[in-house]
Chain A
Amino acid sequence: MNSETLYQFSTLTVVLLLLAFYGGTYLMTLGIRKKNEDADAFMVSNHRVGFGMGAASMTATWIWAASFYAAATSGYTYGVSGPIHYGLWGALMILFIYPFGRRFRKLAPNAHTLGELIHARHGSSSQLILAFSNVLGSIISLMVNFTAAGALVSVLSPLSFQAGVIISGVGVLFYTLWSGFRASVLTDFAQLVALMAIAVVIIPAVFFAMGGPSELVAGLGNLTAEQANFFSSEAILKQGAPFFVAVLAYAIGNQTISQRLFAVNEDHIKPTFLTATIGYGAIVIGLGMIGLMALTLGIQPLNGDMNNLIPQMVSGYLPPIFIALFFILVIGSLSSTADSDLSALSAIMMADVYGKNIARGKADPKRMLLVGRLTMITATAAGIVFASFSLDILVMLVFVGALWGAIVFPVIASCFWNRVTNQAFTVSVLVAMVLFCIARFELIDLAGPGGLFFELLASIGGGVIIGLMVFGFLGRAAGFIAGILALIAMLVFATDFLRDYTVLLASLTAYGTSTLVCVVMSLTSREEFDFDTIRERVGDYDDTPIEEPVATPGDTPVTANLASQR
């Protein structure tokens, strides 16, 4: 998709830029490399990652290439409020998970994945459902990021799409393969610093180069009434609401988040996630403003492709050095997310699949490391192949979204309510998926009583989302009241209305159904689970001494293993 209008780098320049980026990142990881890596550290570092590194890593991981393009598209499509309706909800995904994250960490301080916690709580079937949803999500994420690299390279240089995909895939694998999560966190910091510094420069640079505030005000005449309205209902319904529904689902269903919840120093979880929320929101909304600028100037996206908006604006108004900075910005954002996905996938295969289901308590740390590294190689290859062939992943995306929605309540309830059973978890998710499919693909007529039935379930889903969000911050009573109020509001406004919006109806149905089934089945059970047993069941795998840097004279050598440190 090479373009004549956009600035074009020479092949040599792009290759040198990529070489500098991936070569520099690789060199960084050499500083932390150990001949014999520790299996636990490969998955979650030392459980004591500091506030600064943790916040940087969380922010960098959550910002992927699509964040910029989608925020700019939102600004261009919905006008003044568009960037907010993309960036704000994405940021809240980080914010709303931390109260639950603190609970996860309290229950299983030595866990590596959320699946391990669920395994200790319920057993294999519930754990594997969660692990499966995590794997699908990370593979999709890898594919999307490699695709973005290919598209960027092909738009700004004579290199082909496939070349961009392969270079980015191999580059990310190269620096993540040996040290896993540790390499991911360390490089996330460097990538985020570059990303933020570039964003700080590029946004005002484009703004003033296009004519500044006066030009923006003059261009407001090009906007429709809805686009000019900060409280546009169209922007809320079409952009904000679907994102809002996904806030908890994305956070629960994403191992990259839970991995950081288990890696960060327990005392720093709150400031880490708060800072990441603000950082993510500021960068993404800021870059989304470039879409708004393009709209006010009356610019048409090149070839009708909205993803060209930011490159067009940067290319059209700024000198080539800024285009090179933009190039690094996108490569940095997609690489930081891709390395986190590789680390997440390796941790799932190491802990959830090998550790809990194959080795069954007799895991060999060296074999675990091998499993993790082979997973990274396989996942990279899969991501490159899927991206290169531009496979249609819409159906996969639909199912992953539904699965994430369906597991939200069972996962959270399992960590707070001692009566939830493995059967309730598993059956509720499966029933929710079936009913989701019926609603999403309209397998029954939604015009009659069938529509009413699904609107009822969706209303429960709406109540559950609001209730859980409030519960996370304000506790059980407030959450319950908020959930009931939201349910009543949904029943009033959604009845005979929501059936026309099948995507939203089906998503909410997944939440509502899994909650209903899980609650009913749990209430009929007599099980009362002792949460203290989780801590005993989830531990470390590697007892070999940690390789520490050479101690300076006078220092006390520390060779204690991870388990004894905690």
Chain B
Amino acid sequence: MTTLLAFYVLIWPAMTLGVLVVICRAVMRDRRQAREENRELV
């Protein structure tokens, strides 16, 4: 029960971290692509 509850609470910050990494990597890719196409990021 203790492990289960710990997992239940901590899974959300872990998922947040995962999404943060995905978004940061994607933005780097967006930035590179925008430079290659000689246009602005936004």
Contact = CB atoms under 8 A, between A and B. Distances in A.
A352 B30 CA distance: 30
A116 B22 CA distance: 33
Given A199-B16, A200-B13, A282-B15, A189 B27 contact: yes
Interface string B5-36: 11011101101111110111111111001100
Given A55-B26, A200-B13, A286-B12, A186 B5 contact: no
Contact of A50 (B10, B22, B38, B41): B41
Given A214-B2, A217-B2, A275-B23, A199 B42 contact: no
A59 B15 CA distance: 14
A332 B34 CA distance: 26
Given A196-B19, A207-B9, A186 B27 contact: no
Given A50-B30, A207-B10, A213-B6, A548 B39 contact: yes
Given A278-B19, A286-B12, A289-B12, A216 B5 contact: yes
A196 B41 contact: no
With most chain A CB atoms within 10 A of its CB, the pick from B5, B16, B30 is B16
A42 to B, nearest CB: 11
Contacts of B19: 59, 196, 275, 278-279, 282
A59 B26 CA distance: 14
A549 interface: yes
A4 interface: no
Interface residues of A, number: 50
A203 B9 contact: yes
Contacts of A185: 42
Nearest to B16: A282
Contacts of A213: 2-3, 5-6, 9
Given A199-B16, A286-B13, A193 B24 contact: yes
Contacts, number: 125
A154 interface: no
A32 interface: yes
A275 B22 contact: yes
B42 A49 contact: yes
B20 A193 contact: yes
A557 B37 CA distance: 10
Contact of A556 (B25, B38, B41): B38
A279 B30 CA distance: 19
A91 to B, nearest CB: 11
Contact of A551 (B18, B30, B38): B38
A51 interface: yes
Given A207-B9, A213-B2, A558 B38 contact: yes
Interface string A537-560: 000000000001101000111100
Contact of B30 (A51, A182, A204, A212): A51
A209 to B, nearest CB: 13
Contacts of A505: none
Contacts of B16: 196, 199-200, 279, 282-283, 286
A203 B13 contact: yes
Contact of B42 (A45, A51, A281, A548): A45
Place the interface of chain B in its size category.
20 to 34
Nearest to A565: B39
A25 interface: no
A192 interface: yes
A53 B30 CA distance: 8
Interface in A3-59: 32, 45-46, 48-53, 55-56, 59
Contacts of B33: 50
A197 interface: yes
A200 B20 contact: yes
A216 B9 contact: yes
B25 to A, nearest CB: 7
Contacts of B27: 50, 52-53, 56, 189
Contacts of B18: 282
A217 B12 contact: no
Contacts of A498: none
Nearest to A296: B5
A285 interface: yes
Nearest to A83: B12
Contacts of A196: 16-17, 19-20
Interface of A: 32, 45-46, 48-53, 55-56, 59, 80, 182, 185-186, 189, 192-193, 196-197, 199-201, 203-204, 207, 212-214, 216-217, 275, 278-279, 281-283, 285-286, 289, 292-293, 548-549, 551, 555-558
Given A289-B9, A556-B38, 13 more contacts: A50-B26, A52-B25, A56-B23, A59-B19, A189-B23, A196-B19, A203-B10, A275-B19, A279-B16, A279-B19, A289-B8, A548-B38, A549-B38
16 contacts: A52-B24, A52-B29, A52-B30, A55-B26, A56-B23, A186-B42, A200-B16, A212-B6, A213-B3, A216-B2, A216-B6, A216-B9, A278-B19, A289-B9, A293-B9, A549-B40
